[in-house]
Structure 1
């Protein structure tokens, strides 16, 4: 999926439900420091957007 298609689909989801979650994965050749993160898009109209990383999730569950 190209970036234009990604943005179009994300915008459709926001139009439908009011917000979306975007997940960013590290590239396969990233060092061990690369961590996936997820963040919300569209919540700021009513709430604070959220950002989550693998490190935060692990720390919160250990």
Structure 2
């Protein structure tokens, strides 16, 4: 289960805004939210730090 979209929306961010935080493209954020791609370890760490929750609560 992927909760990235829900977490992003709770913070009031667009995919573009989140992409700038994690330093990836907007298309990459979209692919993560749709379950088409998984973040690389470094990107996953940035998401964990930004949302202040463990990766298991974002993607599993």
State the TM-score, normalizing by the size of structure 2.
Answer: 0.25
The structure with more radius of gyration: 1
Compare the two structures and name the one with the higher strand fraction: 1
**Structure number with higher relative contact order (C-alpha < 8 Å, ≥ 6 residues apart):** 2
Compare the two structures and name the one with the higher helix fraction: 2
State the TM-score, normalizing by the size of structure 1.
Answer: 0.25
